[in-house]
Amino acid sequence: MDADVDKRLAVHEAICAERYNSIANTLKEGDRRMTKIEYLLYAAILAVLLGPGVAAEFVKKIFGL
């Protein structure tokens, strides 16, 4: 009986470890996407507050264009 419980627990732990790694990877990808969205929002705020020309120059300086 104990061997069966140990086996089931080991399988459960392996499945949970795989699931945890998948969740961690998804969160990392989401963080990169959110950073991009944040920069786009900053550019939009600059365009609204200072005008599109100033915002375009700022974006060019940031990205080295």
State the pLDDT at residue 18: 96
State the pLDDT at residue 25: 93
pLDDT mean for each 10 residues of the chain (65 residues): 89 96 93 88 83 80 78
Residue 65: C-alpha distances to residues 19, 37, 40, 59 (Å): 41, 19, 16, 8
State the pLDDT at residue 47: 81
Q: For the chain, give every domain's residue range.
A: 2-63
